[in-house]
Amino acid sequence: MIEFAEVSKRYPNGQEALKRVNFELADGEMAFLTGHSGAGKSTLLKLICLMERATSGQVVVNNKNLNRTSRRKIPGVRRNIGMIFQDHRLLFDRTVFDNVALPLMIEGYPHREIGRRVRAALDKVGLLSKEKHSPIMLSGGEQQRVGIARAVVNKPPLLLADEPTGNLDPELSAEIMHLFEQFNQVGVSLLIASHDLSLIAQMHYRTLVMKEGRLVQDQVDSLEQDSEEVASE
Amino acid sequence: MSNDQLTGASLSQGATLSARLNMLVRLHKIEARRGILDILANPISNFMTVLVIAIALALPAGLQILLENGKSLSENWDGASRISLYLKSDLSQSKLLELADKVSQEPGVANVNIITQQQALDDFKQHSGFAEAIEQLDSNPLPPVLVVQPAVSHASPEASEIMLSQFKTYREVELAQLDLDWVRKLYAMLQLAEKAASALGVALALAVLLIVGNTIRLSVQNRREEIEVVKLVGATDAFIRRPFLYTGFWYGLLSGVTCWLILTISLLWLQDPVANLAGLYQSQFRISGLGWLQSFQLISASCVLGLLGSWLSVGRHIRQIEPR
């Protein structure tokens, strides 16, 4: 699903965010990406959805080489990736329904199909009763779930999440993670950037650890033994 | 969530064409509505913008209407082109009448007026103020004159010119002259004014493009966050552009209608004074306003300018916004 080969990213201001990163995420695999802030997690995710481009190396997503993707093809790439952000990035001048419907509207789905899919996605995240609300009336956890519904509504094969539980209390965080597991069970690949080590430790999934732009650890199971060690760094 | 998860992205292609078309129409409706709501959300400042555009359009359009009225006025004066035939002085009274008769038989002649030598002299005495000096003269130096009024069908400069050369071949005619100069001057002035109106029109059309472009630029900046989000979920530039194009179109339409109102009210306001003035000159002339066709042209030109202005602006500014 995702393939990084010797990927480096240097920003125009000279900051080297990624240094020769190599990894692969298989189809249907779920993995965590962790490390201190500034370690390069966000940059890595941005390269996958073409918010940034690699300075060198190859990024292949969904069998498409992103180095050779023209500006005009970017929307096509993003439609196959569901993105979830720490700050949700919802549109506050529209209802919950309209927010979730956005990816489908963009792709020109028929009206009835949009209604069906949006309600299915909202039902999945437990917010079906709030479809007519404005996102501003919802709690932080609910807003995040609207963001998740929007990311999965067009059923993309890959979900990226950047600190999806960053602003949530542990209970809500666990709920969100549980949702991600459910998506993974039906074949969606997920890459979740998070520094919530205790949460990751409970989950028993592959974990990639970044430090100063390098991938320093690629643990196939979980960080259970190493979590304290990384946390104490 | 079922197992069609992975095939979901391609499902949309399976939808029937009519359903997709239906959705496109629906999307356009939504965006058209959002475009107008965008304008109405800020009624006062946006009304100012509409008014500025309307006035910029009303200037050249109003000038054009006045020019057209001026043209029709000068066309009404078909008496403008007259031909004066200065005859040889030794022509007898009977010969004069005979000639006048002959001239009036010529094709295209509406009417012939005879000015005898004596009449000419009396006229000259009366108007020139040289009465005393003329009294001193032994003989009348003025020739008899036939004033030929061409028929309306022959009043154009070209036709009059042909008639003139015809009269020049007459033996009795010393000098034939076409009194067209002032008509020509008026036409030349009207043409100049028309050119000036066109130039003003082009300049103000450019101004309208800039006003709309700038308004749309601000609107794009105000919705920066929204544009970033829709780009993140895979919107094409065309999709993002559409609501702004609608906003531009609405600006054009509202401005066009406002401009039409301004012109119609101004012309109504001028109607009475113009009729009064025309009455003093025994003329039936009435100022003519905007016809259906002209109104339609005005409003559609305004819509096109609005659309074009936003199109020129939006593409460039949307490109600059990339999600961070």
pLDDT at B297 over 80: yes
Q: Which residues on A lie below 8 Å from B22 (Cβ)?
A: 110-111
A40 and B CB contact within 8 Å: no
- If one compares B9 and A94, the residue with the highest pLDDT of the two is A94
Please tell me the distance in Å from B324's CA to the nearest CA on chain A: 7
Q: What is the pLDDT of residue A136?
A: 93
Spell B79-118 as b/e; 16+ CB within 10 A means b: ebbbbbbbbeeebeeeebeebbeebeeeebbeebebbbbe
The pair of structure tokens assigned to B124 is 């000259």
Q: Which residues on B lie below 8 Å from A79 (Cβ)?
A: 9, 233-234
B1 and A CB contact within 8 Å: yes
Give residue A183's domain range: 30-53+73-231
Residue with tokens 């130096």: B141
Do the Cβ atoms of B305 and B316 come closer than 8 Å?
A: no
Q: Within a 10 A sphere around the Cβ of B3, how many other Cβ atoms?
A: 8
Q: What is the pLDDT of residue B165?
A: 84
Q: What is the mean pLDDT of residues A62-71?
A: 90
Question: Which residues 6+ apart lie within 8 Å of A61 measured at CB?
Answer: A1, A2, A3, A48, A77, A81, A158
CA-based nearest residue in chain A for residue B321: A51
> 3-class DSSP state for residue A134?
coil
Do the Cβ atoms of B217 and B317 come closer than 8 Å?
A: yes
Q: What is the mean pLDDT of residues B112-133?
A: 79
Q: Which residues on B lie below 8 Å from A90 (Cβ)?
A: 229
Q: What is the mean pLDDT of residues A41-53?
A: 93
What value, to the nearest 5°, has the Cα angle with vertex A91 and ends A90 and A95? Answer: 100
Q: Which residues on A lie below 8 Å from B15 (Cβ)?
A: 109-110, 113
pLDDT at B159 over 90: no
A133 belongs to a structural domain = yes
Query: How high is the mean pLDDT of chain A?
Result: 89
pLDDT at B87 over 60: yes
Are A156 and B8 in contact (CB < 8 Å)?
yes
Are A79 and B234 in contact (CB < 8 Å)?
yes
Q: What is the mean pLDDT of residues B152-177?
A: 79
Of A83, A108, A157, Cβ closest to residue B20: A108
- CATH code of A218's domain: 3.40.50.300
Are B324 and A51 in contact (CB < 8 Å)?
yes
The region, left, alpha or beta by phi > 0 then psi within -120 to 50, assigned to residue A110 is beta
pLDDT at B10 over 50: no
Q: Which residues on B lie below 8 Å from A49 (Cβ)?
A: 232
The pair of structure tokens assigned to A70 is 């023209």
CA-based nearest residue in chain B for residue A184: B5
**CA-wise closest residue to B82 among B137, B145, B126, B24:** B145
Q: What is the pLDDT of residue A38?
A: 84
Report the residue of A43, A85, A106, A112 to disrupt the B interface, i.e. the one with the largest count of B CBs within 10 Å: A106
d(CA A52, CA A43): 7
Amino acid at the residue B160: S
Question: Which residues 6+ apart lie within 8 Å of B214 measured at CB?
Answer: B313
Model pLDDT for residues A73-126, shown as the tens digit of each residue: 999 999 999 999 988 899 998 999 999 999 999 988 888 899 999 999 999 999
Number of domains in chain A: 1
What φ, ψ does residue A79 adopt, rounded to 5°? Answer: -65, -20
d(CA B85, CA B106): 14
Q: Which residues on B lie below 8 Å from A116 (Cβ)?
A: none
Give the percent of chain B with pLDDT over 90. Answer: 30
pLDDT at B6 over 50: no
A14 belongs to a structural domain = no
| Residues pairing with A34 in the sheet | A209
Confidence of residue B91 (pLDDT cuts 50, 70, 90): confident
A16 belongs to a structural domain = no
Residues 83-112 of A with CB under 8 A from B: 83, 89-91, 93, 102-112
pTM (whole model) above 0.80:
no
Q: What is the mean pLDDT of residues B304-322?
A: 92
B222 and A CB contact within 8 Å: no
d(CA B178, CA B197): 31
Are B23 and A109 in contact (CB < 8 Å)?
yes
Are A83 and B234 in contact (CB < 8 Å)?
no
d(CA A178, CA A158): 17
Amino acid at the residue B11: L
Model pLDDT for residues A203-229, shown as the tens digit of each residue: 889 999 999 999 988 877 655 544 444
A173 belongs to a structural domain = yes
pLDDT at B11 over 50: no
Query: What is the residue-wise DSSP string for B144-158?
Result: PEEEEEE-GGG-SHH
How would you classify the pairing of strands A56-61 and A2-10?
antiparallel
Q: What is the pLDDT of residue B31?
A: 84
Q: What is the pLDDT of residue B169?
A: 84
Please tell me the distance in Å from B11's CA to the nearest CA on chain A: 9
**CA-wise closest residue to A100 among A119, A83, A87, A84:** A119
Q: What is the pLDDT of residue A102?
A: 93
Do the Cβ atoms of B96 and B196 come closer than 8 Å?
A: no
What φ, ψ does residue A64 adopt, rounded to 5°? Answer: -115, 130
Query: What is the residue-wise DSSP string for B246-310?
Result: HHHHHHHHHHHHHHHHHHHHHHHHHHHHHHHHHHHTT---------HHHHHHHHHHHHHHHHHHH
Q: What is the pLDDT of residue B82?
A: 77
| Residues pairing with A18 in the sheet | A9
Question: Element (H or E) spanning A173, and its range?
Answer: helix A170-185
What value, to the nearest 5°, has the Cα angle with vertex A78 and ends A208 and A115? Answer: 115
Amino acid at the residue A85: F
A75 and B CB contact within 8 Å: yes
Q: What is the pLDDT of residue B5?
A: 38
d(CA B27, CA B19): 12
Query: What is the residue-wise DSSP string for A23-84?
Result: EEE-TT-EEEEE-STTSSHHHHHHHHTTSS--SEEEEEETTEEGGG--GGGHHHHHHTEEEE
Please tell me the distance in Å from A197's CA to the nearest CA on chain B: 26
CA-based nearest residue in chain B for residue A152: B5
ipTM above 0.90, yes or no: no
Residue with tokens 């949460």: A199
A156 and B CB contact within 8 Å: yes
Beta strands across the sheet bearing B173-178: B109-115, B145-150, B83-87, B173-178
Q: Which residues on B lie below 8 Å from A188 (Cβ)?
A: 5-6
Please tell me the distance in Å from A88's CA to the nearest CA on chain B: 10
The pair of structure tokens assigned to B144 is 């008899």
Of A51, A154, A183, Cβ closest to residue B9: A154
**CA-wise closest residue to A125 among A143, A140, A145:** A145
A3 belongs to a structural domain = no
Query: How high is the mean pLDDT of chain B?
Result: 83
Confidence of residue B175 (pLDDT cuts 50, 70, 90): confident
Question: Element (H or E) spanning B33, and its range?
Answer: helix B17-40
Q: What is the mean pLDDT of residues B283-296?
A: 84
Please tell me the distance in Å from B18's CA to the nearest CA on chain A: 9
pLDDT at B52 over 90: yes
Structural domains in chain B, CATH included, are 24-76+185-320 (no CATH), 82-179 (3.30.70.3040)
Question: Which residues 6+ apart lie within 8 Å of B261 measured at CB?
Answer: none
B230 and A CB contact within 8 Å: yes
Do the Cβ atoms of A158 and A81 come closer than 8 Å?
A: yes
- If one compares B153 and B99, the residue with the highest pLDDT of the two is B99
Report the residue of A89, A128, A179 to disrupt the B interface, i.e. the one with the largest count of B CBs within 10 Å: A89
Confidence of residue B12 (pLDDT cuts 50, 70, 90): very low
Spell B32-62 as b/e; 16+ CB within 10 A means b: bebbbebbeeeeeebeebbbebbebbbbbbb
Please give the interface size between A and B, counted as residue pairs whose CB atoms are below 8 Å apart: 99
A111 belongs to a structural domain = yes
pLDDT at B131 over 80: no
- If one compares A84 and B137, the residue with the highest pLDDT of the two is A84
Q: How far is CA B89 from CA B92, B133, B136, B145, B166, in A?
A: 9, 20, 19, 10, 20
Confidence of residue B69 (pLDDT cuts 50, 70, 90): confident
Give the percent of chain B with pLDDT over 70. Answer: 91
Q: What is the pLDDT of residue A208?
A: 93
A151 belongs to a structural domain = yes
Are A107 and B324 in contact (CB < 8 Å)?
no
What CA dihedral angle connects B207, B213, B218 and B221, to 10 degrees? -160
Give the percent of chain A with pLDDT over 90. Answer: 67
Confidence of residue B230 (pLDDT cuts 50, 70, 90): very high
Q: What is the pLDDT of residue B180?
A: 66
